[in-house]
Structures are given as C-alpha cells and as structure tokens.
Amino acid sequence: MIPTITYKLGNDLDLDAVIDLYVASTLGERRPVDSRECMAQMMAHANLVVTAWDGDLLVGISRTLTDFCYIAYLADLAVRQSHQKQGIGKELIRRTQAALGPRARIILLAAPAAQDYYPHIGFTQHPRAWTLGPGERVQG
C-alpha cells in the first residue's frame, strides 16, 4: 500500500524528529546531528523549509536559504530511506521551486551518492562552483 504523503511549509519543527530524519536518510553522515545547538540553528535560520509527512512521521525535508527572487541555495534534501524512490524528493523540490519567485534559480551541492540523481531530474551541472571550508581562509 502506497502511503499518503502530505507536505507542509515552515521550519517550526520538533528538533528530535528532524535529527531522526537526517539519520534515517543517511544525510546525518554529513551533517552535525550530534550537535543539537547547530541543528537547531540550521533549522531556525533556513528561510524556506518544505517537509513531507507520512501521518505523524517526518519522512522528508527540503531546507533552503534564499532571497526569494534571484537565488535559492538548497542546503539539504533528505528523504527517509524507507520512503525513497516514491517521488518525495522530486515533490519537495517542486514545492520549494513553487514557493520561490519566478526568476529564482536553485543551486545545490550534491552528496557523492546523489550526484547522478540531480541530472536525472532536470538539474544542470555547473562547473564553476567553489567552496571555502571551516578553518580555511581567503588568501592574499
């Protein structure tokens, strides 16, 4: 039986449910799930959050930082492993895009295991992305 998934906007979420989702989706391997303070700040400061629910169970999240008119950084896309391959990730992205202005571009950094997923659903790879990590400094 296919579950009925409902979607909601907003970042007023139970932190334990969010952390549980990140761990259950494997995104927890690359996020600071052991730091409640950091995870709370990540949720509080995201200005566009779309969630997917199977009843009372949080099964997916799209966490975005955006100006709503030009750019949107899709920082996290997570779907519980038990609910993957049902179109939930695509629907989270669709709803994120719908909440943005018509000119806003979505940008993301793919997890290594997901790098083949994004071109499959219509994203274009950008060869000129750069990062400056924690502890790294601008030189010169």
- Give the tens place of pLDDT for each residue, 103-139: 999 999 988 878 889 999 999 998 888 889 999 999 9
CA distance 47 to 12: 11
Over residues 60-71, the pLDDT tens digits come to: 999 999 999 999
Q: Is-contact 118 108, C-beta < 8 A?
A: yes
Judge whether residue 3 has pLDDT over 70.
no
Long-range pairs, 116-125, Cβ under 8 A, ≥24: 117/89, 121/89, 121/90, 121/93
Q: What pLDDT is recorded for position 86?
A: 94
Over residues 24-52, the pLDDT tens digits come to: 998 888 999 999 999 999 999 999 999 99
Judge whether residue 1 has pLDDT over 60.
no
User: Which tokens sit at 53?
Assistant: 């629910």
User: Which tokens sit at 116?
Assistant: 């083949």
Pairing type for strands 105-107 and 71-79 reads parallel
The topology under which CATH files domain 5-120 is: Aminopeptidase (3.40.630)
Work out the mean pLDDT of the chain and round it to a whole number: 93
